[in-house]
A and B are shown apart, each in its own frame.
Chain A
Amino acid sequence: MSDENNKEVKGLKKKEKLLIVAVIVVAVVVMISGTVINAFIPAGKVIITVGNKEYETVSLKENKRIVIENEYGENIIIIKDEQVFMERADCPNKTCVKKGKITKTGQSIVCLPHRLTVTISD
């Protein structure tokens, strides 16, 4: 009993540590595989989805300003010099704008309130 208590004072139990390690291992494995995807599959196009439907697909090589206005709100997506970013959004949290520029295959910008995703694909 006292042994058990001592362990708790020190920190986490063995199984709890195991859970944390397992979660971190999964995270690292997914991160590495994501990086491998980024490195080996060249980025080619930008897929924009609204709702769960494809809205528009644009080549990453193009320079384009895409304005999306719908019942959810307004988003302005910029594709320039093979970089993609959200210039403006009238959503409440602006997480998509703060995400900044994306350049690699598999990366995406999400605007949850407007049900919008911008993903770089091969």
Chain B
Amino acid sequence: MGKKVAYAGMMIALAFVFGYIENVAIRDVFIPGIKIGLANIVVIVALWKFGNKMAFTVSIIRVVLSGATYGNAYSFVYSVSGGMCALILMIVLKKYTNFSVKGVSVAGAVAHNVAQLLVAVILLGNKWLFVSYLPLLLISGVIMGLVTGVIGTAVMKRMIFSERL
């Protein structure tokens, strides 16, 4: 139990730092508004090495912390909907398919982007956004999902986790 809490704390801190790096240091390197999703690496590792509950805990606490630090009520709605849709899809795919870390990560990233776009269309009341932003968000989801999936796979190969939790 104690060890699990320690791991959770460590992963939340790491995810938070990744969120900071993306929000502050490397914002808009590629295309304005498109992010890599570095924090998702931590969520993936949590999901694979510790299970659904841990992944959920890390994801939701990170979103709340980041929201309180950089965002406002509206950006929080986007983060929660994106994060939770991605997580739910990743849990389902991991459980019911033989998808690898990379495949699950791609699906999660795409789900994250589509969910945020849907929320934007609803909150902003502008349905044109769907057509103009969907292609970019789908393709960036595939690319960034592959990037985080490859990094996640590499991290898990090299990391040694204590077997008894």
Q: Which of A12, A27, A116 contacts B135 (CB 8 A)?
A: A27
Given A13-B103, A27-B135, A112-B78, the answer on whether A106 and B32 have CB atoms closer than 8 Å is no
- State the majority secondary structure of interface residues on B: helix
In Å, the complex CA distance between A120 and B78 comes to 24
A63 sits at the interface (CB 8 A): no
In Å, the complex CA distance between A31 and B105 comes to 24
- With a cutoff of 8 Å between Cβ atoms, the chain A residues found around residue B128 in the complex are 106, 108, 119, 121
A6 sits at the interface (CB 8 A): no
Q: Quick one: closest A residue to B107, CB to CB?
A: A19
Contact B142 A24 (CB under 8 A): yes
Given A23-B141, A95-B33, A115-B74, the answer on whether A33 and B134 have CB atoms closer than 8 Å is no
- Chain B interface size range: 35 or more
In Å, the complex CA distance between A108 and B33 comes to 14
A20 sits at the interface (CB 8 A): yes
Interface residues of A in 29-60 (CB under 8 A from B): 30-31, 33-34, 37, 47, 49, 51-53
Q: Which B residues form the contact surface with A (CB < 8 A)?
A: 27-28, 32-33, 70, 72, 74-75, 78, 97-100, 102-103, 106-107, 110, 120, 122-126, 128-129, 131-136, 138-139, 141-142
Sample 25 A-B pairs with CB under 8 A, ordered by A number.
A8-B100, A12-B102, A12-B103, A13-B100, A15-B103, A16-B100, A16-B106, A19-B107, A20-B142, A24-B138, A26-B138, A49-B124, A49-B126, A51-B125, A93-B28, A95-B28, A95-B33, A98-B32, A106-B128, A110-B129, A112-B74, A115-B123, A116-B124, A117-B124, A117-B126
